[in-house]
Structure 1
């Protein structure tokens, strides 16, 4: 691994600039190295910064280890059906980084990318000005934590944290913590606090949930066998809606288990609907708790039903599963509480992030500020994206398919570079 330091001798022109050294950017670098294409990778912090510094202590994969398939570096451990813990994930990605010699510049921030009149791109960085024919944006989608505007109106005596800053239960003040959001982070952080014996409550959003094990196998094993992970975004009935979907919640903790919020409620967890407003010590909720629980169960049952159809269609001799039962339902919907009177001393926001492309001065984003591309390749020649959810398949933003995407994008770059060389030779 060549981690470059700033110096005046380093050239400021290259064929490809890769922005970001997470698994997507480093996968791109792997294939660029293999193709012999000159490039640099700029990382504003350190490689794999998010895995190292922006995960809580008990974080683990939600998908099984066998889905870790970085370029020519599949998971080779002893527990392919298990779920790596945070430190094991860091060891895995660092092992991949050590398998080749990436031209990596750490601690270098890209501040501006703009088109050049003569072609190619000008890339301003904290390491000076660079020119490149191609730019791969692999900076991820976790730049800016999302907080609703009304969060600023909550009583100052109630501490507010975003999921990015949660590491362990001790980070949360004594008293009751209201966790907001039921994506994968929200339910797992709630469970982390619950297991630690903390007083925690949960505002339930519209996130779907998934079985963990079903009819003798992990649900993801069945889905892989069924070809679910081979479906592309173009095959989805509504691609934009698919891109916007929240991930199904379940857990890889302690060998993996599903999370049924109804069971938690039966065991004493206070559930509310979606947070709709805050003012002083008052927190308001939409009356959508039962609706959200029902929707989560509908996605859960949809996965079970699809697996049942597959098992039947293949004539597999697999034992049937117990019938699904809704073990709890709310007797009434609580739409307003006095947080101070309820003893709530903190709110943990787990409602996601948004990317920041303010530095990207190239016409490649839509009216929502989202990249416009086809399989990572933009209409504006020379601009590419990697590492986004559903870039091409479900696994594009994960270890499962990022290598496939990176290889495709680098193949497009190699073809364009060859075409340019041929034109210059003829000219």
Structure 2
């Protein structure tokens, strides 16, 4: 089936968690719409992550309100394939108008009428509104410091699936957010020598006093914080749902054999140099960790909750040798490093959306997903409306706001005065 100048009120681009959420709310509003996805529903969960990945939040939390993970313990962490199946089932639940295998190539505003022309791999569509639900993980970013050395096997974390795909030898993992930490841990457990480059990060407890950190951020109102602190827009979070969920402790990772190093600075003549910020980064992560414990304790006392004390959560391991004498420079060949994994995040790519909706840096201009360009919307971006915007449940609530805005516009357009009735 191809499109022959199909006309639709709202086109949603992307059928991941954001696109499915938008479609549900548009359906409830009675808005005629179509969702286009170039791959399969929730494809990034299937092929854009490593094999052993699980959700970072428990099943009771990382879901939409209208459907539970009935086959999982509420406190379990859903495997990535199960998450993809969940979104497929959710879309089927309300018969979402999703067309897969169709790529949106170009969106432009018409000059002669108030709508957009959308060029796709299956033909042309005319739409009054366009919702970008492509999310924040569009283009893997490898920093320009990456060495031009063909002897090194270099991949972004998006292309890492398991230890077996890497050549024999030690591995340098650059980036210590959730992805970098979990990949480094997996490689170390597989018997690889691992160097983990640790930058600034937040390090929440996986659970504290019988409650997951997702619960704590909820009752403390931290998910709903609407303004990001300056300088923390891209702060990574070191947390893991792997092996049933556990608190990330960098000192423990070092005890298990991982060599911690500071922020990766440069490569030259077969050597990599690191910033002298390892201890500072880990200590600041500890401060973040302890601040959440303190806030949780105060909340328990204030609300007189009967939750068990957990003094061992404040136990601090001794600083490992790699913190006492941080590695400043590493000869890659002498250290046996044959692979580098860049867990250095993603950038958005809106080359297809050719409208006046972006600032001079290419970032979307919007208020809670409602673009500065009339008729254009964004869902699934970090801090779209709050801290929780990129989490599954946060996307659902952001999608509702955008769909409500579209629904309100249609109600105004449906108005007829007395002479038209």
- Give the 3-state SS of the residue equivalent to 1:124 in structure 2: strand
The answer to whether the Cα contact below 8 Å between 1:287 and 1:333 also exists between their aligned partners in 2 is yes
The answer to whether the Cα contact below 8 Å between 2:187 and 2:194 also exists between their aligned partners in 1 is yes
* Structure 1 unmatched runs, 5+: none
Relative to structure 1, the CA distance from residue 7 to residue 111 in structure 2 (aligned partners, 3 Å threshold; closer, same or farther) is: closer
Task: Report what 1:301 is aligned to.
Answer: 290
The answer to whether the Cα contact below 8 Å between 1:263 and 1:327 also exists between their aligned partners in 2 is no
Asked if residue 415 in structure 1 is aligned to residue 405 in structure 2, the reply is: no
Separation of aligned partners in 2, 1:317 and 1:80: 21
Asked if residue 342 in structure 1 is aligned to residue 327 in structure 2, the reply is: no
Relative to structure 1, the CA distance from residue 17 to residue 299 in structure 2 (aligned partners, 3 Å threshold; closer, same or farther) is: same
Asked if residue 175 in structure 1 is aligned to residue 169 in structure 2, the reply is: yes
Separation of aligned partners in 2, 1:180 and 1:43: 31
The answer to whether the Cα contact below 8 Å between 1:212 and 1:257 also exists between their aligned partners in 2 is yes
Asked if residue 245 in structure 1 is aligned to residue 238 in structure 2, the reply is: no
Which shifted more, 185-194 or 93-102? 93-102
Alignment of 1:120-269 (within 5 A): 120-151=115-146, 153-229=147-223, 231-233=224-226, 236=227, 238=229, 241-246=231-236, 248-269=237-258
Task: Report what 1:327 is aligned to.
Answer: 318
The answer to whether the Cα contact below 8 Å between 1:30 and 1:71 also exists between their aligned partners in 2 is no
Task: Report what 1:357 is aligned to.
Answer: 350
The answer to whether the Cα contact below 8 Å between 2:174 and 2:341 also exists between their aligned partners in 1 is yes
How many angstroms does 1:198 deviate by? 1.6
Task: Report what 1:378 is aligned to.
Answer: 371
How many angstroms does 1:225 deviate by? 2.4
Relative to structure 1, the CA distance from residue 332 to residue 377 in structure 2 (aligned partners, 3 Å threshold; closer, same or farther) is: same
Separation of aligned partners in 2, 1:24 and 1:259: 28
Asked if residue 276 in structure 1 is aligned to residue 265 in structure 2, the reply is: yes
- Give the 3-state SS of the residue equivalent to 1:422 in structure 2: coil
The answer to whether the Cα contact below 8 Å between 1:65 and 1:81 also exists between their aligned partners in 2 is yes
- Give the 3-state SS of the residue equivalent to 1:365 in structure 2: coil
Separation of aligned partners in 1, 2:7 and 2:304: 59
Separation of aligned partners in 1, 2:174 and 2:196: 6
Separation of aligned partners in 1, 2:106 and 2:417: 29
Relative to structure 1, the CA distance from residue 400 to residue 50 in structure 2 (aligned partners, 3 Å threshold; closer, same or farther) is: same
Task: Report what 2:17 is aligned to.
Answer: 23
How many angstroms does 1:226 deviate by? 2.6
* Structure 2 unmatched runs, 5+: none
The answer to whether the Cα contact below 8 Å between 1:28 and 1:410 also exists between their aligned partners in 2 is yes
Aligned residues: CA RMSD: 1.9
- Give the 3-state SS of the residue equivalent to 2:11 in structure 1: strand
Q: Give the TM-score, by structure 2 length.
A: 0.93
What are the Cα deviations for residues 319-374 of structure 1, in whole angstroms up to 9, with x where unaligned? 24233324215122322111011110000110101010122221211222221211
How many angstroms does 1:22 deviate by? 0.3
- Give the 3-state SS of the residue equivalent to 2:119 in structure 1: strand
The answer to whether the Cα contact below 8 Å between 2:55 and 2:62 also exists between their aligned partners in 1 is no
Separation of aligned partners in 2, 1:418 and 1:147: 46
Q: Give the TM-score, by structure 1 length.
A: 0.92
The answer to whether the Cα contact below 8 Å between 2:59 and 2:72 also exists between their aligned partners in 1 is no
Task: Report what 1:104 is aligned to.
Answer: 98
The answer to whether the Cα contact below 8 Å between 1:154 and 1:282 also exists between their aligned partners in 2 is no
- Give the 3-state SS of the residue equivalent to 1:66 in structure 2: coil
The answer to whether the Cα contact below 8 Å between 1:266 and 1:328 also exists between their aligned partners in 2 is no
The answer to whether the Cα contact below 8 Å between 1:154 and 1:279 also exists between their aligned partners in 2 is no
Aligned residues: 415
- Give the 3-state SS of the residue equivalent to 1:222 in structure 2: helix
Relative to structure 1, the CA distance from residue 426 to residue 244 in structure 2 (aligned partners, 3 Å threshold; closer, same or farther) is: farther
How many angstroms does 1:7 deviate by? 5.6
Relative to structure 1, the CA distance from residue 280 to residue 171 in structure 2 (aligned partners, 3 Å threshold; closer, same or farther) is: farther
Relative to structure 1, the CA distance from residue 377 to residue 22 in structure 2 (aligned partners, 3 Å threshold; closer, same or farther) is: same
Task: Report what 2:88 is aligned to.
Answer: 94
How many angstroms does 1:176 deviate by? 0.3
- Give the 3-state SS of the residue equivalent to 1:161 in structure 2: strand
